[in-house]
Every structure is written in structure tokens, then in C-alpha cells.
Chain A
Amino acid sequence: MVATLHIDGAAYSVKEGQNLLQACLSLGFNLPYFCWHPAMHSVGACRQCAVKQFKDEKDTRGKIIMSCMTPATEGMRISIEDPEARAFRAGVIEALMVNHPHDCPVCDEGGECHLQDMTVMTGHVCRRARVRKRTHRNQDMGPFVNHEMNRCIACYRCVRYYRELAGGRDLDVFGWHHHVYFGRQVDGPLESEFSGNLVEVCPTGVFTDKTLKGHYARKWDLQTAPSVCVHCSLGCNTIPGERYGELRRVRNRFNEEVNGYFLCDRGRYGYEYENSDLRLRHPLRLGAEGPRPIPSAEAVSYVAGLLRNGGRVLGIGSPRASLEGNFALRALVGAGRFFIGWPERERALVTTALRLLREGAIRTPCLREVREADAALALGEDVSNTAPMLAFALRQCAMQRKIKVAAAFGIAPWDSDAVRLVGQDEKSPIFIATPCGTRLDDIATRLWRAAPEEIARLGFAVAKALDPDAPEVPDLSDEAKSSARDIAAALREAERPVVVSGTGAGSPAVLEAAGAVAAALRRLGRNVQLSLVLPECNSAGAALLGGGSLAGALSEVRKGQVDTLIILENDLYRRLNAEAADALLAGVKHLMVLDHLANATTARAEVALPCATFAESEGTLVSQEGRAQRFFAVHPARGEVRESWRWLREIGMAAGQSEMAAWQTTDDLIQTLSQEPGLSGVKEAAPGREFRAAGQKIPRQPHRYSGRTAMGADVSVHEPPPPEDRDSPLAFSMEGYQGQPPAALVPRYWAPGWNSDHALNKFQGEVGGAVRGGPAGVRLIEPAADAPARYAAEIPPPFQPAEGQWLVVALHHVFGSEELSAHTPGVAQLAPRPYLGLSPEDAQRCGVGEGDPVELAVGSSVQQLPARIIPGLPRGLLGLPAGLAGVKVVELPAGGRVRSVTGGPP
């Protein structure tokens, strides 16, 4: 419904019922606000958004109203410029500033501070108050968020965000009157894995990025480019910032279809591996006295020599490398000799997931659709640890019910306090079945803790309860039957249910079960969607590219078929246990590895080539949604570091593969790549290098970028020209198009008068909604509309805890399980120490206490770990942290045995 709104005498069409603040901002007016946030909506707490409302044309006196709390109605007359409204707004700021410290020069928020922007907007300049300022003590909130409480203006955004949206419990408001305090009960790291968003949510410098503080640079000094998070399979959009050749921070890049306004802490803070001392900076050649740096040309010609002389070569790609890198490697070694560097089980899982999405008639939702879903079933996947923003989206999904309840009372969805009051404890039905507790448990309608097979059986049972044609689950317990009925009933009710699962449980049966539930709902004609979490940022891309697993590579090596092995951005010692990896590497004569960081695999490489990280190169990743997204170089690679595909191309050309010569730029490579089946959309992920906005490139540096003529002057006073970027439509300079580029190319948010991230308002067609020109990225996977929903034939037998034989399952950790982010000191600090998880009953039975050393044997791999007692872990299950440094790699789930080292054998 469109309503006509008269603002300062001019008529505008706005959405009826929308709040006036959002409407005015969408129309491009500069109206100050604090407590309103496009993702958290209105509470009317700060009184900053005052405008004047008039009864009719004749009314000249009008009354002050809060625009964020007033719905737009047909024929409404308001004034933003009214002197009284202006004075009111200036008065509010002045009152806020009475206690605001004289901190801007030393405040990390300065230059991108919403409070600064709003103060300038209202015109307040001078503190007239004669009272002394109230002060607060700060808290230590862990490695990610800095706390400087003096600067608080009590807008309540932080607690609303933290408690309502992110589901955190340990941040709250204390005290009363003008003494209110936003913090924790006691000092200590914030518990929520979404705490980093406080930095963006807080309109002042109370919460700031602590990692940035360690190497601070102002927003106007950061060179930024659109990028994509590489720390999980969701592909959240980010804006990393660089200064003096070092990555300084990561900010959110709004993509309404993916991460929206927020990021998780792994994505926000995982970037520091880029600056790590472990970075490879030169090509290294392994000699008798260890690796020594060699010139690039020598490295290239040496490896090319190996390939040229009829050497049989094998390539191992990586699910964490870009499509471009993997494709270049495949082109170099030949499709038949290219293997994605994942274990056979992971390959099976990912291909199963991909098959479900491609062959079933079920669509995979983008995260917005998950946020808007009204019921969810999470099968087997601990999304809060493997795909945190999906967990965040599920929290929004849980709130949909409140909005629905409130709507019945005629309360607009943006009236967030009223929605919360009316909605009380209502939440959308969300069912979670995982081997171990998750941080989403608080929103779950019901929880199941079971072994992966049991979870799969539950899933199949739900499918059966929904659709009588579904296969029968044999030997189902009564309890499971009734649970399945409950779940089925709730899902059947829902208009937009989602089924969430993933590879995290390590069980293809779980994936099949999730597929079966979705298929059953689909057969019932429900608008169901299926979201499957994958292990890594480009798992989907790697699977689309095809290629065998490490098992295939190993058998080739065993056959003695390999002289030279090329490994791309892959640490085999994280994929295979040490013996298997050793066996694989020992079987080849020559080993070449391309990677960013020194690791166990590069240490064994005869030649190790330093390759560019996501922040130094351009490339494409395919997220678990099947969305191909392009990341762009934030800064040029220094020294001899290059994009992997450029190394591979040079080697290929030197070895006589002349077709690689055509790949002058990333675009050329993408052109070739998009001829692959299923990858034709990759080209459209972002505009190509020829793209120009108004004839100009998009500048990576803001127009206020400082120090250009001095930053390199210590080395030479003669300034070099800015590096040229021939790969993309972005430029490594401050010259270029200053307007709004297409979403995939937005390097930062800034608008005149809006220095904070709220400048995003000016990029959106409707504030809070899609950016103009549509979201970034292109979906490569769409279900065939007419495909029949099919069921998997095989249903696993029930899990029986056996005496002496345990099922070891992988427990994922948002901090520590992912390879690259673990190199950020803060992430490493929050990552758990190695442990072996036991259920309390089992622990008691074995006489093992918390922290006691126990010995775990899985197959031939034996390791000693301290025990951790995990309430809720089903009996007979052992939890081993996945991917954690200090824990030996074993393929999970697997049978294992434990022995208490101090006590007797359990």
C-alpha cells in the first residue's frame, strides 16, 4: 500500500504503515537517529528522530512526534525542517553530550562515528553545561571488543542486539538513571560469537574493534575492496581494510541475501593470518640445510623442467582455494590427474549435499530466506560452530512467531518493543538434533542429542510421518516415533519451513535424512527449503569443478604413477593423519606446494611458492547456497607473492602449455572457466575488468586517504605511481567514480555527512532493504522445477553403545576448528585446549574426572588428551574437537577406544 506523505510541503509516496524515520531516510532526507537500527527497528528510546506533525494544511502549530515510532499514513503532514523540531533534536544531542568525554582524537570510532555525524547534522557545537561529567570504569571484554564506557549515550542498541538478536546472555544494562552501565557482570571475554557486531551496532566508541586497536588506522586511511569471508561455507560479504601493506580489520558488507548487517567473530577477526609471521614471502627450495629462498624465475623454470621432461604430474587442489586457482591447477595437470585435496569421506559428503540440492526439487535458501522462515529443523549440524551466521539467521527465524502474534494485534513488525511484549516467549518451532549441545539450544522448541545415525533415523521418521510414501524406519523406538510426529506436525503447519543440515556430523545418512524431510514437505506442497552446511569456503566450488579425493591421489601414488605432485593451498596434514600424509608425500619424487602460510606440508615441499591470500588476489568462491561470489584484492601482493593461478600459469607456459598464455587477467581465466558445465554463471558474479562507472574505475581508497606522498618517503622520496590493477574495475588509488557502484564492487560505505557505516542507508533503495542494483553474487544451483522429490533407499541401523567400543564424533568450534582464522591471536586465545569429550555417565563409569588424561585410539592413531565432561553428550559417544591444533587428525565419526591413563582401563 502506498501512502502520500507531505514532508515540508512536498508530497512523496511511501509504503503505508512503515515508520516515518525509515520512510524519510529512504527518501534521502538526513534525519538523525540513534536507537533505531534497520535490523533492530524502533524502540523510541533516544528521542533523536523528532519531527513535527501537522493535523492538516491549516495546522501551523503542529506537535513533535518521534518519527521512528509513528507509522506513515495517507495524507500525513510532517516537517523535518521545522525550527522547533530542529531545536528539539539539537537539544537532545546537547543533553547527550553533557557527559560525553573529550575523546574523539583518541577514540577508535572517530571518523566513522554515528554520534559525530549526528552531532554535526543537528549543528550542536558547544557544551554549555557547567556540571561535571559522569564517568565509568571499563571492562576487559576479551580479545575482540574494546570497552570505553564513558562514551555511552545509553541508546540501548548494544543490549538489544546482543540479547535479542545474537542470543548472548552475558552483556546487559546495569544501574539506573544517568548511571546506566552497559557491560558484563564481571570482566571477561564476551561469550557470543557475534560479539564483534557490537563494534558496528554501537553508534559511539564504547565498543570498538580491539584487533584494529593493535594496528590502528582511521576509516579514511584504509584501502578497502569488496571481499568474501573465507572462514566458513556461507560466504558472508566483507570489507577488509588495509594500510601500509597490512590488513587492519574486516567490516561487514551488506548483502541482504547473505549476511545482512552482521558477521560472526571468526569472519570479522580471522583476518590476522594475513599478517602472520608464518606467511611465505619468497619461493623456497628445500636443500640439505633446510629451505632457502630462490628467485621466482628459478622456481618456475625448475618446476616447469620437471613437467616438461615427460614427468608424470599430479595435482591436488583445495576446497579453501578459489575456483580460479583450482581450475588453473586442473588445466596444468589435466582433468584426469587433478584431485581435490579432501579425504574420500568429505568428498562423498559434499557431493551428496550437492546432489540433493541439484537433483531434488528443493531450493536452497539464501540466509535472508532462513531469517524469514517460520519453522526450522536442524539435523545433525551444529550450525552455531560450523556456520555461525546461519545460526544467527535461525535466531531471526525464531522471532518470526512474535512478529506474527503481534501482527494479529495490529502491531507493525518494526515496533520492536511492542512486538517483544506481545510476543512474550513465543518463538517459531525450531527443532535441533545434534550429537552434542549447541549454542542454539536456547531457541529450540525441542532438542535431541544422539549419534549421527540416530539423528538420520529421526529425520527419516519425520519424513515418514509427513508422507506415508516415505520409506519406513525399522526398529524405531516409541519415543522417536512420537518426536517425529511432533516435528512433522509443526513443520506441516509452517508456511516457509527450512531444513538445515550439513557435513559437520560426517554422516551422509544425516544429509539424506534432511533431504528426505524436505522432499516429504515438498510432496505435501509446502514451500520448503533445504540449507546444507559445507566444510569450507569453496567446498561447493571444488565439488562443481569435480575431481577425485585424496584416496584417488594416494592410489595413483601407490601405483608409482607420479613423479611430481603439485599441491594447491592445502595442508595435507590437516586432512589426513600423519602416517597417511607421509605415505602420500613420500611416494612422489618431487613435491611442489603453493600456499600462504608455512605449514607441515610446505615444510616438506621441494619447492614452496608463496601465494596471495584473499586480500591480495581476485577470485571466486561458491558458498553453500551455490552462490558464486567474487572477492577482490584489497592491496597488491608484496614482493614475490602472487595469485596461485598466476604461478601455475607461468609454470604451464614455461612447460609448453601455450593455451595458458591467453590468461592475461583473471577475467580471461574466468572466461575459460565458465565454459565448464555448471559454472557458466561464474562470469556474472561481478562485473568484469572492463566495467567502468561513468567512464571511471572504482577507487579502493576513500577520497580523504592521507599520507600518499609520505608513506613511502622513508624509503625513497620519489613517489611511485599507484599500482595498476589490470584484473578488476577497481583501482588502487583514490581517483575514480565516487558514486554508488554495483553491489559486487562496493568498496566502502560513505556518503556526505554519513561517515559511519550508516552511510549504507544511502546505498539502499529502501533503507534496511536491498542495495540499489540488487545483491552481489549469482546463484549457480537452482533446483529443477519439475524434478520429483525422491527418497534415499538406505536407512542406517540404530546406534547401539557397545561395551569397550565408542563412537568418536567431531565437535566443531567456531574458534579453532578452522585452519586460517586459528592464526589470529584472539581466535587462538578463545579456542579450546585439546580435549576428549565424554558424557557424565560414561565418565563416571570409567572413573575419569574433568581434565584427567585419557588415551584415545582410533584405528592405528593413538593420542593422549585431557578429558572434558560434556553434559548432554549421549552415552557411548566421544567428542573430539575438529581441526584443533594439537589434536591428531582422524576421520570422524569412527569407532574408537579410550583408556584412562591414571586409572584402570574403562
Chain B
Amino acid sequence: MSDTARSLVTIFAVLLGALTLAGGFIWVERRLLALFQERWGPNRLGPLGLFQGVADMIKIFMKEDWVPPFADKPVFVLAPMLIMVTTLASLAIIAFAPGLVVADLNIGVLFFLAMSSLGVYSVALAGWASNSKYALLGGMRAVAQMLSYEVFMGLSLMGVVMMAGSFRLTDIVAAQKSLWFCIPQLPGLAVFFIAGVAETHRSPLDLPEAENELVAGYHTEYSGMKFALFLLGEYVGMTVVSAMIVTLFFGGWAGPLLPPVVWFLVKTLFLMCLFIWLRASFPRPRYDQLMLFGWKVLLPVSLLNLAVTGAVLLVRGA
């Protein structure tokens, strides 16, 4: 098989896998949330209600493709596409198993950061193009929140990068042969995880779409397929962040007995469930609290982490 064909197959496998995962995860989330709340969740359609997602998809496809008359049409259409493109592009650098990676870039980590920064545009443009007050407020919140948390996200990663000595994800996985970075880089993990929740604006840090204040935030005016893109984008984003955490802190595909891909998936799924657990447990902070927490807690912690890691490495190296 030529390299191109191989890449193409990988790309399709990854896309298919990630989208199915994200789609299926909507069902998992609803069932899990129900579990935490002493309910059943969707349990009617198919075994265990598994086809609920399919039904929802059919429904959403059938909806009228509606663009509000007051919206800025081209931008309004562009925004949801953007989020899909950026999150899916981040998938490219993730190494699921040895050899199962679309593009094993030597700047993998940076690429991930870049893509997640681009994702901000989607939300900001959606908020702007909707031309409605709730959407605009949501969009503005999203921009400030995502830009801030990106800083801590990037900083928190640097410890890992320093320890692995490379931006390439496969190298980082390899560097964790003896010890998963979650042990030495615990502060980094904590900051990255929290920043990850904020980046994907999952609850409890879902202020851009806080429904009890902003209706649905930046996607208030969206419905049908375009809304589905936002929804899916959120879940793919969650998958990507979980996969990154697994790769950076939990040894990637490494694990005994089972094949590497399975290990990778199990770890990722576990982290995603953690996201849901958080959602089920915590109330949403106020917006100022969120920003305060970021700049006054996360920033010092990640800087400190960086300094300590650097110092330790310096000492060791010396």
C-alpha cells in the first residue's frame, strides 16, 4: 500500500471513529446523566435506547434549514463549519496506536493549540452573525473565556514537553514508558483538564451557552443541521481534549494485555465520562469567578509547575 492510500485509510478510519464516538457519546452522556440523577434516560429506541441518537439525527436532518432574516447570512453559515473543521483537524495529530496517526507532526502539540485557538472564531462569529443579543453576549463570553484558558492550557503542557523533549506526540508517548506524566506533572494535568473543560465550554464552565441566562448563548439562533454541527463539534472537541490528556499524561496507548488502540480508547472514554460526571455534579460559576480563577489560580500554578519542572530537569541534566 502506498503511503497516500495508507494515510487516506487512516484519515477515514479516524474520522469515522471519532464521529461515531462523538455521536454515540451523546447517548452515553444522556444515559450517564440520567444514572447520576436517578432516572433512566433514553431507553425506548433500540436496545437500551441506543438508537435514540440515530433518531435524533434523522430528526435534525429533517428540520428546516433556517437562517433568521436578521442574521448575517454568509458568516452565519460559516461559523458552524469552522468549529467542525478545527476540531476534526486537531484529530489529525493524535496517535491512537503505534502507526495509527494521520500526521505525526513534530509540532503536534502546537498544532493542537493552534486549532483550538481557531475554534474561538467559530463561536465568536456565530455570536456576531446571529445579530441577536443573547447570541452576541454568548459569543463575547466565549471569546474571553477561550482566549484566557488557552494561555493556561498551553503553559500547562510545557512541563510535559520539557520532560519529553519533543512536541511530537508519539515521542511524548514513548517518553512515558517508565512513568506516566500524570505523576510528575500532576499540577499540569489539573490545569490542563480544567482548561480543557473551559475550552470545550462544557458545563460547569459552559458560560457562553448558559441557558438560564442566555437562552442558548451563541447558538441561540441556530437550528437544524447547523445546530447539529455545533453540538457535534462540542463532542468531538471533548473527544480531542480527552485524547490529548491520555496522550500527554496517561501514557497514550500503553497498557498491558489488550491491544494499544483499545487501551487508548478505554482511557479516552474514561476521561470523557469524567467530563459528564463533572457536569452532573457542579453548578456553573459566575463569569467573574471563572476569569478570576483562571488568572489568579491557574496561571500561577502552571507557571510554578513550569519553573519547578525546569529546575528539576536542569538539576537532573546537570
A and B touch in the complex (CB under 8 A): no
Residues on B facing A (Cβ under 8 Å)? none
Residues on A facing B (Cβ under 8 Å)? none
